[in-house]
Amino acid sequence: MVSVIEGRKTTDEDIVAAVEGRKNGVLHLTHNDLDAAGADAIHRMVYGKITTIFASVGRYDSILALIAGLPGRGDVLSISDLGYKKGVEASAKAAAANGWKIEWRDHHRWTEAEADLVRPHCSLLTIDTSVCATGIVAKALRPDDRTAVEVARVVCDYDLWKKEDPRADVLGLVTQRRHLLPHIRNLLSQGRFTDRKIEEIYAEIRAEMDAAIGASISEAKIYREKYTIAFAPLHGYPSETAHAMRDALGTDIEVIVSRNGRFSIRSVPPVCHLIAREFGGGGHPNAAGGSFTFSLMDRFFFWLLKRNRHFKELVKVADSI
């Protein structure tokens, strides 16, 4: 039951070894969050012990290119919870030519042109923005299984920001410690949503998170134009920070910025994906991510003043939508 979590210590050799050692004719390439863990749990309900690669959005395309160069031997390359990135069609084409049967299921927004580039190289391409990726996978692979349906419901609650099931928030927080993805995946594949380990880690994270959120809110900068937009430094837990900021500050859009310029954006109006695309990113209408190009001076002023010239650029983009 091999799982590779892409990260700073993961080498191409690790990924190649995992791919070449796969069993049961299925390789699963997915994201590295709760939705990915849920999608992988459904895969394992159906296929048993498979090889999974949990990848970041930033690196999945290079991992896909690496896989494409390895013999597929007619096996399924299942891709979930990963949206289109420029150039991935070339890797998909190479993978198909090398004997992989690509099944791609995603809930991010693709343009028709993007889908048309990838579709010819897939045996299946399903894009459905109304549910989370786990929901898509459950409907396709385990549609009449009550456990799979419940797993999808809980995961979608967190991923789509429904905030209706408290179990979803616990799992969503704990999966932010990426090394726990296989543990949570294994629980979900059994139809379980917690255990002592999860409860202990959640309590530890909750205390840390409350302090991080408080720091971000205290340093927030508010811009009031077409929308009320808050910008704040990231101290951890971007989704939870954005939600707390909205409650505390009455904002329409929240932008949580890391010191290297990458940001997470959340919004009440369905505009996040449109804004993020203008800054090299993308995502969902109410939750997305992008990146400001920080110079050395940008980094310094952001550290000193918690403010940056790029903030006004984003406000202008939001005003234009």
Q: Are the CB atoms for 152 and 128 separated by under 8 Å? A: no
Cross-strand pairs, 50: none
Interatomic CA distance for residues 281 and 109, integer angstroms = 12
Q: Which domains does the chain have, with CATH numbers?
A: 3-194 (3.40.50), 212-320 (3.10.310.30)
Q: Where do we find the tokens 């928030």?
A: 169
Number of H helices, E strands in the chain: 14, 12
Write out the chain's pLDDT in tens, 321 residues: 467 886 667 899 999 999 999 989 999 999 999 999 999 999 999 999 999 999 998 899 999 999 999 999 999 999 999 999 999 999 999 999 999 999 999 999 899 999 999 999 999 999 999 999 999 999 999 999 999 999 999 999 999 888 899 999 999 999 989 999 999 999 999 999 999 999 999 999 999 999 999 999 999 999 999 999 999 999 988 988 999 999 999 999 999 999 999 999 999 999 999 999 999 998 889 999 999 999 999 999 999 999 999 999 999 999 999
- φ and ψ at residue 127, rounded to 5 degrees: -125, 120
Question: Which two tokens mark 178?
Answer: 């990426």
pTM (two decimals): 0.81
Q: Using alpha carbons, select from 98, 126, 113, 118 the residue that is nearest to residue 27.
A: 98
Question: CB-based contacts of 166: which residues, under 8 Å, 6+ apart?
Answer: none
Interatomic CA distance for residues 86 and 113, integer angstroms = 11
SS (H, E, C) 142-209: CCCCHHHHHHHHHHHHHHCCCCCCHHHHHHHHHCCCHHHHHHHHHHHHCCCCCCHHHHHHHHHHHHHH
